[in-house]
Structures are given as structure tokens and as C-alpha cells.
Amino acid sequence: MAAVDITEETKQQAGQIGSVDVLVGIAGSVSPEELRVRAERILSELGSGVSSLRFVFAWPGVASELAEGSGQVAENSEALTMLPFSPPPPSAGEFWSGISASQRAVLNLAASLNARACIVLGSDLAALQTHAIRLFAYAILDRQCGLAMPVYPAAKYEGLINSGVLSPLSRSLYGKRIRYPLAFDFAASGTLCGRLARANPAADNTGRSLLWPVTVASTQFPQTPVGQVHIDVHHKVATEGLELSAILAELVGSLFQEMDLCASHWQRVRGSQASPAWGNAGDSEPDGQPIDAQPMLDSFLLGSKNLDEVWRLILPPNTLLELRRLTRLAPDEFRMPDELWASIVYDFALAYRLRTISRVHLLGALTPLYLGWVASYVREVSNLSSAAAEQRLEQLARAWEEKKPYLLSRWRWPDRFNP
């Protein structure tokens, strides 16, 4: 990624403020005036220990914004400075790549200013709240974490790509029990900012590497503590017009790519460690509206017919037999075992590495299987509370860890398992 283009106004202000304790960067376009007002309110609400720090609030902007009526934004106070930086080029047609580019820009800016801590927030400003800033700053500056990831409150049917694939896969690979390894908001130490900003393990042009902070922290700073903070934040995910298969392909494909390039590290990891967490988890989220699992089950059954030849190239015979057994079950009896789901994703990761088929077609063929897992999960937790559903996800994650020896065997000796 190219270095962030810092405006002349920013350079002049940076030279005036000297050392920076905390850079709070917004990963996306916002109103500078709204940002200033909310930043001032946050600093006034923070306790004396935090408000005494030198804060910089940065957003993607240009000098013309300051000249067109936002000049107050550029004014410094004793504890607060507002800095615009040039945004990264827009990325069209993908869900997360634009967010990732903006996050890297913020981290690069923090590294260039030698900030002690960098707090990266989503452009909807949902996390621009006093309690979130306080907790992120506490985790990095007081508890000496290299990385602090958020724990968002979630109803039991929310964020299932994260819960069903991203979180358990990241946990089993890198040994960190992080609930949201790919998040809109996080914080990093000054030491880690530069590495995160430059992290781009894409070895070729076949895929786009997203920013997985936990992967970088685990592989490049394995002894650095990684913590979590509970923040009462709900982000509105802008996925309108995007197909599920495209979102799943971008997120899972990026993780598969980094999985391939970091194999020498994760093959040595056994088990997982709990990460310290701060903040109040709060009351359990409402269960949310009931979900009809039948359309998802229908997609799985249709995929089992139309994609049978493709799945034969990716999955070993025992897995195919299990899938055929599932297709014969009555809808109310349909349950996909955790071990089966984990082994399916592991097999797809291996096929991604070996380029068994086109990676685009490979990731598309995963979608009906994912919907089969979702249908199974939705029916299983329909009568559970959100807290009980969260325990169910912990059980799922443990199953992925227990299945990791299967991944290691397939990864090291793929020919042994050829169908």
C-alpha cells in the first residue's frame, strides 16, 4: 500500500504539537464539523488520567475542506488536534477492501506521527463514544496490549459469517480467542501500527489481502498481549446490492490467502489462549426476529445437486458421504455436525492453496455449504437465549480446534486424502 499523503496543513500542525499520545482515526469519510464537536465532548467526559493525554483526531479529508468553512477544525487545543489526511483510492465492487484500505491509511498516519496508541474507528462513528475511547486507550496504554479488538453485542442470528467461519478459523490457526478478528474498530500500540499499515501478504495478484490485525499480531509479535474490550456499538453494515456469495468469497478468500502465506507459523500452534477482556458485556441482546431456515436449507439441497462434481474435486469421500446423508434427512431433523463443518472449511482452504479449481469457482461452491450450516445453527438455537447461543458458538470453536490435526494432515500430505 502506498504511503499516506499528508497535507501541508497536517505537516505544519504535526510539527507544532510534538509528541502524540493517542491518534483516533476514522476509516472513511465523515463530516469534519461533526467529528470536532463529538471529539471535544469526549475529551470533556474522559477522566483526568485520560484527558491529560495528547489526542489527535484524524479523518480522510483535503485542504479544500478546511478552506470552505471548516477552518475551526484545524485549530489546536491543549489536548486536541484535528488532522485531515488524503484518503486512499476508492475500491468499487467489494465489501471490505475499501474499509481495509482506510484502516491501513489511519495506521500509517499514526506510525508517521510516532503515536503511542492508535484507535481506528468505522466511518459511521458508531464507536466514537467516550466509553469506547476510554477502554481502547486503557487496553493499549495501561495494560500494555499490542492490539485491542472489540467485542460487539450481538443477537444470536447476527454476524454468522464471523461466528461460523472467521472467528473459529482464526482461533484454531493462531491460538487467540478473539470474537471479532475482522472488525470495524480496534486499537494498536505504536510499535504495531507500522507493521499493520504495511501488512500486505498478497504474494501475487490473484487476491486482495484484507487487514487481519490478529494475524499480524500473532505471527509477527507472538509475545505481545492481544486483548478485547466490550463496547456497546452497533454498526450498520452496508451490504445492499451485494450477494452473499460475493461477501463470503471476499472475507473467506482473504483469510485463506493469509492462511497459506502464514502456514509456517500456524502449523506450530496448538490449542488456544483466552484473551483478557475489559468493559461490561452488558445485558444480553434481544434474540432478534425469527429466521426461516428453509430457504437456506433449500439452497444447500440445490447445491448438493448442481455442485456435486465440483465438491468431488474438493472434499474427500467420507465428507461427501456425510453430506449425502444430510440431504436425506427430514427438514426438522437437519443438523450439520460441528466437526463436519470445520473439516469442510479446512478442505476448501487446502483446495484454495492447491488451486484445485478456479479460486472464484471454489469460493462460490462454498456458499451452499455455508447456508447449510446456517440453517442447522438457526434451528438449533431457535429456542435458546442469546447467552446460551453464545455458549453454543464456543462449543463450535472448540470443535474447530479439535479438528485441527485433520487440517495439518491434509495440508502436509494432500495426496494421501485424494478422492
166-189 mean pLDDT:
97
Whose CA is closest to 142, among 187, 184, 185, 98? Answer: 187
Does residue 186 contact residue 227 with C-beta atoms inside 8 Å?
Answer: no
pTM of the model: 0.91
pLDDT of residue 282: 65
In whole angstroms, give the CA distance from residue 131 to residue 134.
5
| pLDDT tens-digit map of 316-347 | 999 999 999 999 999 999 999 999 999 999 99
Ramachandran class of 25: left when φ > 0, alpha when ψ lies in -120 to 50, beta otherwise = beta
| pLDDT tens-digit map of 261-306 | 999 999 999 999 999 999 987 665 566 677 899 999 999 999 999 9
pLDDT of residue 11: 63
408 CB-near residues (< 8 Å, 6+ apart) = 267
Q: Helix, strand or coil for residue 138?
A: helix
Does residue 178 contact residue 276 with C-beta atoms inside 8 Å?
Answer: no
For the chain, domains (ranges, CATH) are 8-278 (3.90.550.10), 294-417 (no CATH)
Does residue 409 contact residue 416 with C-beta atoms inside 8 Å?
Answer: yes
Which residues on neighbouring strands pair with residue 119, listed in sequence order? 24, 187
DSSP assignment, residue 276? P
In whole angstroms, give the CA distance from residue 406 to residue 216.
24
The string of DSSP codes covering 150-194 is EE----TTS-HHIIIIIHHHHHHHH-EE-S-SS-S-EEEEHHHHH
Residue with cell 500500540: 189
pLDDT of residue 52: 79
In whole angstroms, give the CA distance from residue 278 to residue 149.
11
Query: CA-based diameter of the chain, in Å?
Result: 71
